[in-house]
Chains A and B, each alone.
Chain A
Amino acid sequence: MTTLTDPPKQAFRLSQLIYDTRYRSMTIQVIAMIGFLILIGWLISNTAQNLADLGKEPSFRFLGEPAGYDINQRLIDYNNQDTHLRAAFVGLLNTLLVAFLGCITATVLGVIIGVLRLSKNWLVARLMTVYVEMFRNVPVLLWIVFVMAILIESLPAPRAFRGDNPEATMKVFDSVAVTNRGVYVPELLFGVDARDEKGEYLDAPTGWRVGLGDLPIGASADNPACASYYATEGAMAGEPGPGCGTFQISLDLMAVLFVLIAGFYSAHRIKLRADRIQEATGERPTTWYLRLGVVVVPLLIVLYALGAYLAYPELRGFNFRGGTHMRNSLIALWLALSLYTAAFIAEIVRAGIMAISHGQTEAAAALGLRSNRIMSLVILPQALRVIIPPLISNYLNLTKNSSLAIAVGYMDITGTLMGITLNQTGRELETVLLGMLIYLTISLSISAVMNWYNNRVKLVER
């Protein structure tokens, strides 16, 4: 008979904390934690004492004070009497804008260049190699400055458009002005029959195509800018003035977007229905005109009803007025970041394509696909799985590199919050920490979204 005996119960000895592997990891962790806390405490106490010596108390109250400076590119309403917080927000939107545009162009350019590097055309392949090496091996800050200088020096100034025999003319049926201050493109506006402040029609009236106007969020009756919004009569009744509310939503644009999304959704449903019919009967009904129709027709109707028209830029005074002004600083930063990142993406794409076994190409060729279809239908979708993870880190790099906007005077979050606001208020600690926090949030969000996408397209291994 065997008796089960419990392992001898030993009293816990202190030396076990070092020698016993079960406890040792605990010891290490506790030591690490204590060390970390001491470090943090030390930093905080130093900071507190230094700030006390300088007579500055850490406080974020400055964010509520008027900023006092102007920002040229604002995606939301802003003037120099608004707060530093709002200025920072304007900067944040600018950062996001250039990062978004940059990621898209860099991807498109990168894929094209990566594919062309593998082209059978000797000259093109060499040229693309030169491009990639040139952009990868020179600092991005230098490229940003370069592109800006090229734009400034090579494009005509607005004054070149003036006179009877101008040196420069507008492009695309006189609707786009390319100047060294930026590109002016026509802008979609609503309300042909809207009236100006004096009650005059802006254009020949038909009486009802005035648009829906703007909806101010957070409007209050105390704000004088909102007087017209709350007014029931007068030419501008129901229209919020600039500065009314925290921000304003264009109801016209919302209506157009809604119709557009509804159209696409219907088109998608029609396609699904066509799929079902094809599965059941083997014959696919022709639906392209229907699908086109549900997107386009309602859109046109809504656009007409809202009185949509294009505002063309025209030279008035010192500058072009009207239209959308894409500033040089935005274009330079956008272009430089895209070109620079595209060189890296091209390498990733090339590596991804080369990772696909040659048998895939041959098999696709055996099916009778032409070479561009082989690339787009067989190779690239498979390469995508290899490409996406490094692509994410390049998107992150591009977003982070957009902080170099300051070199061309693009007012991003670094230029507003960590630039002029820091200068004017002298709050280094608060502004820099807040700025880092914002960038960290952006980075983590981008990687979260892209990782989610990556997990979706990842090959499911069994």
Chain B
Amino acid sequence: MKKTVFLGALTVAGLAAGAAAAGTLDDVKARGKLNCGVSTGLVGFAAPDANGEWNGFDVSVCRAVAAAVLGDPAAVEFVPTTGKTRFTALASGEVDMLARNTTWTFSRDVDLKFTFVGVNYYDGQGFMVPKELGVSSAKELDGSTVCIQTGTTTELNLADFFRSNNISYEPVPIETNAEAQQQYLAGACDVYTTDASGLAATRATFENPADHVVLPEIISKEPLGPLVRHGDDEWGDVVRWTLNALITAEELGITSANVKEMASAAGNNPEINRLLGTEGNLGEMLGLSADWAVAALSSGGNYGEIFEKNIGENTPIGLSRGLNAQWTEGGLIYSPPFR
């Protein structure tokens, strides 16, 4: 790595010198920081608080990965990205991973050359309407004005849905969720459509949430998950298995409260032992320390804990687990075995 003072000075000024082609894992370790792309602000998923601390569901995934790789959940630089800049930021190596409610689609995976390492939230596009309109199905929305967030797959889904049902609509494209919410509440659009989780989160913050209904139609599949660049499988594995560790931990009953205790000595369950590094050498295979999963789990708890803390039913957002329950409880959240 050719590093001169001129460039060095720029590094101080924020030039993160690092070849995208080299191993991302080594880069992250050398840097001592994980660069994680998040959204510029989405209630419950990623938002900075008054002290500049980022919090949210997507943010927790970043923290878990940072903890697994570097042993420190705070060793993350959060890079806010918009729908437009996120893929460039990842492709150019500005961020090491993207945890920004990004839908896993064929073209993003194949054409844009990214690797989706898993799904941390199963979502789908839904509609929200004021109750007073008396609409009970999205098929009754002929001639309505629909607020959509641009830069996402939602506008394509919407076009497809209305086209296939042969009904007309008027799209109102909007940059951010906050503005969409403002327009919707003022009646500048009849319908607000985005991912169902976003709808629920938005509705939860209304003055009178009961005045609005989310329609039963879910018009698309939106598997949201973290993604990395194509071609760096070691790094992809680290992110993938960190996510899987969070999921498996919930299935096995490992929480942030008991993870230290369970990791102190090998227990009876061999999978827990392998996961927590008291048996086998899974961490070493990933190029991480043996207690990588312990660190990841200590950062914010297992998948269920993260969910409950950020977007679960006890938060203002109040999402139920639904599809995102463990497979043992009828949901789709399922991790391959740690073996």
The answer to A–B direct touch (Cβ < 8 A) is: yes
Inter-subunit contact B156/A424 (CB<8 Å):
yes
Inter-subunit contact B21/A53 (CB<8 Å):
yes
- Please choose the segment from B45-53, B119-127, B180-188 that sits at the chain A interface, where 4 or more of its residues have CB less than 8 A away: B180-188
Query: Which chain B residues in 290-325 approach chain A with CB under 8 Å?
Result: none
Inter-subunit contact B188/A180 (CB<8 Å):
yes
Q: How many A-B residue pairs have CB under 8 A?
A: 95
Task: Contacts A318-B143, A406-B175 given; indicate if A180 touches B156 (C-beta within 8 A).
Answer: no
Residue of B nearest to A71 (CB): B171
Pick the contact of B159 from A69, A153, A158, A426 — CB < 8 Å? A69
Tell me if A97 is interfacial: C-beta within 8 Å of chain B: no
Inter-subunit contact B91/A419 (CB<8 Å):
no
Residue of B nearest to A407 (CB): B175
Tell me if B189 is interfacial: C-beta within 8 Å of chain A: yes
Bound-state Cα–Cα, A54 to B21, Å: 10
Inter-subunit contact A159/B132 (CB<8 Å):
yes
Residue of B nearest to A325 (CB): B170
Shortest beta-carbon distance from B313 to chain A in Å: 32
Query: Which chain B residues in 207-241 approach chain A with CB under 8 Å?
Result: 230
Interface centre among B21, B155, B173, B186 (most CB of A within 10 A): B173
Inter-subunit contact A180/B186 (CB<8 Å):
yes
Inter-subunit contact A318/B84 (CB<8 Å):
no
Query: Which chain B residues in 72-114 approach chain A with CB under 8 Å?
Result: 83-84, 87-88, 91, 111-113
Inter-subunit contact B144/A319 (CB<8 Å):
yes
Pick the contact of B150 from A153, A180, A419 — CB < 8 Å? A419
Tell me if A445 is interfacial: C-beta within 8 Å of chain B: no
Shortest beta-carbon distance from A199 to chain B in Å: 22
* List of B residues within 8 angstroms of A409 by Cβ: 150, 172-175
Interface centre among B20, B132, B155 (most CB of A within 10 A): B155
Tell me if A68 is interfacial: C-beta within 8 Å of chain B: yes
Query: Which chain B residues in 147-165 approach chain A with CB under 8 Å?
Result: 150-152, 155-156, 158-160, 163
* List of B residues within 8 angstroms of A72 by Cβ: 170-173
Tell me if A428 is interfacial: C-beta within 8 Å of chain B: yes
Residue of B nearest to A53 (CB): B21
Tell me if A37 is interfacial: C-beta within 8 Å of chain B: no
Shortest beta-carbon distance from B237 to chain A in Å: 21
Tell me if B195 is interfacial: C-beta within 8 Å of chain A: no
Question: C-beta contact mask, A202-243 vs B, less than 8 Å → 1, else 0?
Answer: 000000000000000000000000000000000000000000
Query: Which chain A residues in 426-453 approach chain B with CB under 8 Å?
Result: 426, 428
Tell me if B142 is interfacial: C-beta within 8 Å of chain A: yes
* List of B residues within 8 angstroms of A422 by Cβ: 84
* List of A residues within 8 angstroms of B150 by Cβ: 406, 409, 415, 419-420, 423
Residue of A nearest to B229 (CB): A54
Tell me if A411 is interfacial: C-beta within 8 Å of chain B: yes
Pick the contact of B170 from A160, A319, A420 — CB < 8 Å? A319
Residue of A nearest to B163 (CB): A80
Tell me if B145 is interfacial: C-beta within 8 Å of chain A: yes
Inter-subunit contact B159/A68 (CB<8 Å):
yes
Inter-subunit contact B113/A149 (CB<8 Å):
no
Question: C-beta contact mask, A40-78 vs B, less than 8 Å → 1, else 0?
Answer: 000000000000011100000000000011111000000
Inter-subunit contact A317/B143 (CB<8 Å):
yes
Inter-subunit contact A70/B155 (CB<8 Å):
yes
Inter-subunit contact B171/A157 (CB<8 Å):
no
* List of A residues within 8 angstroms of B145 by Cβ: 181, 318-319
Bound-state Cα–Cα, A420 to B151, Å: 6
Bound-state Cα–Cα, A69 to B163, Å: 11
* List of A residues within 8 angstroms of B151 by Cβ: 419-420, 423
Inter-subunit contact A158/B187 (CB<8 Å):
yes
* List of A residues within 8 angstroms of B190 by Cβ: 318-319
Bound-state Cα–Cα, A159 to B172, Å: 17
Tell me if A94 is interfacial: C-beta within 8 Å of chain B: no
Residue of B nearest to A406 (CB): B175
* List of B residues within 8 angstroms of A152 by Cβ: 182-183, 186, 188
Bound-state Cα–Cα, A54 to B230, Å: 9
Residue of B nearest to A156 (CB): B187
Inter-subunit contact A426/B170 (CB<8 Å):
no
* List of B residues within 8 angstroms of A149 by Cβ: 182
Residues of A within 8 A of B (CB): 53-55, 68-72, 80, 149, 152-153, 156-160, 180-181, 316-319, 321, 328-329, 406-407, 409, 411, 415, 419-420, 422-424, 426, 428
Extra contacts, 11 of them, besides A157-B188, A407-B175 (Cβ < 8 A), are A54-B113, A55-B113, A68-B159, A72-B171, A159-B187, A181-B188, A181-B189, A317-B143, A328-B188, A409-B175, A423-B84
Residues of B within 8 A of A (CB): 20-21, 83-84, 87-88, 91, 111-113, 132-133, 141-145, 150-152, 155-156, 158-160, 163, 169-175, 182-183, 186-190, 230
- A–B complex contacts, Cβ < 8 Å, 8 sampled: A68-B159, A69-B156, A80-B163, A152-B186, A321-B143, A328-B188, A409-B150, A411-B173
Pairs A-B, 5 closest by C-beta atoms: A157-B187, A318-B144, A409-B173, A80-B159, A317-B143
